[in-house]
Amino acid sequence: MVNRDEGQVYTIEGIAASVLLVITVYTVLSTTTILTPGDTHIIDLHLEQTGNDVLAVMDTPDYYSDISGTYNESALAFSIRTGDEAGFGSQFSTLADTTTLPDHPDRIKYNATVYYRNATSGQVEGHPFGGDLYRRENAVKVTRWVYLDGSAPLPGYLDPRSQSVLLEVLLWR
Amino acid sequence: MDRESGQWIILMSMILCVGIFFLAVILNQSILVGQTTAESALEFPKSDIHDLRAEVYTISRTPAGTCPECFRDLTNISLERKNAVIYVANNSGTWTIHYDNGVTSYEETIGYWDF
């Protein structure tokens, strides 16, 4: 007689606990799925920063002729002017390599294109500048303005004048 | 005595579940913060502006000291490839840089290159 309503307490306990467990499990599971895009963004950010830094280093002249710092051709401008795709590729890969072991190189892949303005047609045109075959992987794009001095001979696809070209590099792992 | 012990179990389970729930919410929010930070850092054209400035500096160091054709290159190529409006001018030694990609705009007038 005394214990007639004991069951109600246990029923309430069971319902409350199961509802809270379901909410908790749902929240934990949905938290884990959100983790992936956040992670990808941070990796993309890192890769983009690395690529921009590498291009900035390559576009900085190795020396200055005097204290006023007059123009000297950078390694990057030299590669584009002479059409040395292999030289650009090896220097870029060496600088972009984040590992210290020479026999285990980082697997950063790239594909480069030089964009320039054709003064006669007024169009912006692209010229491939070496790299790996891009097959729609998750990639980031880094760019660098490169000044080419018209006093030196330029490759055939460029107008024979001093000009700024845009080097676009697609990076992926 | 035995009749009331169920209430303690309910109370304890509720406290525990609410605690775990709030921890999960905090974890959830922290990942969202990481994503938005990375996104806004990716979106902000820090490198583009650095790069443009370095290019204008390089042009200013050339033997000719200026290059009107290069300014046209910068404007046209950037509009076509980078969706950004760039205008660079050099009037009697004063350099003007204008950059706008629709979200971020940047203006600078340089009288003397000291970096």
Q: Under a CB-based contact definition with an 8 Å cutoff, are residues A4 and B2 in contact?
A: no
What residue spans of B44-67 are helical by DSSP H?
A: 46-61
Tokens of B64: 């000719």
Question: pLDDT value at position A138?
Answer: 87
* A133-137, B39-43, B93-97, range with the lowest pLDDT: B39-43
* A37-51, A60-74, A93-107, range with the lowest pLDDT: A60-74
CA distances from B9 to A2, A13, A39, A96, B16 (A): 21, 8, 40, 59, 11
Does B38 sit within 8 Å of A3, measured CB to CB? no
Q: What confidence tens digit (pLDDT) does each residue in B22-72 have?
A: 888 888 787 777 777 777 877 889 999 999 999 999 998 888 889 999 999
B109/chain A closest Cα distance in angstroms: 20
Q: What type of residue is B97?
A: I
Q: How confident is the model at residue B77 (pLDDT cuts 50, 70, 90)?
A: very high
Cβ atoms within 10 Å, residue B33 = 10
Does A117 sit within 8 Å of B20, measured CB to CB? no
Rounded to two decimals, what is the model's pTM? 0.76
Question: pLDDT value at position B82?
Answer: 92
Average pLDDT, rounded, for chain B: 87
* Rounded (10°) CA dihedral A127, A133, A136, A142: -50
Q: Does A139 touch chain B (CB under 8 A)?
A: no
What ipTM was predicted for this assembly?
Answer: 0.75
The answer to whether residue A131 scores a pLDDT higher than 60 is yes
Question: pLDDT value at position B89?
Answer: 94
- Across the range A161-167, mean pLDDT stands at 94
Interface of A with B in 16-75 (CB under 8 A): 16-17, 20-21, 23-24, 27-28, 30-31, 34-35, 37-38, 41-42, 44-45, 48-49, 52, 56, 59, 69-71
Question: pLDDT value at position A27?
Answer: 83
Strand partners, A110: A171
Does A24 sit within 8 Å of B14, measured CB to CB? no
Tokens 């884990």 appear where?
A: A32
Interface of B with A in 4-63 (CB under 8 A): 6-7, 9-10, 13-14, 17-18, 20-21, 24-25, 27-28, 31-32, 34-35, 38-39, 41-42, 47-48, 50-52, 54-55, 58-59, 61-63
Question: pLDDT value at position B36?
Answer: 77
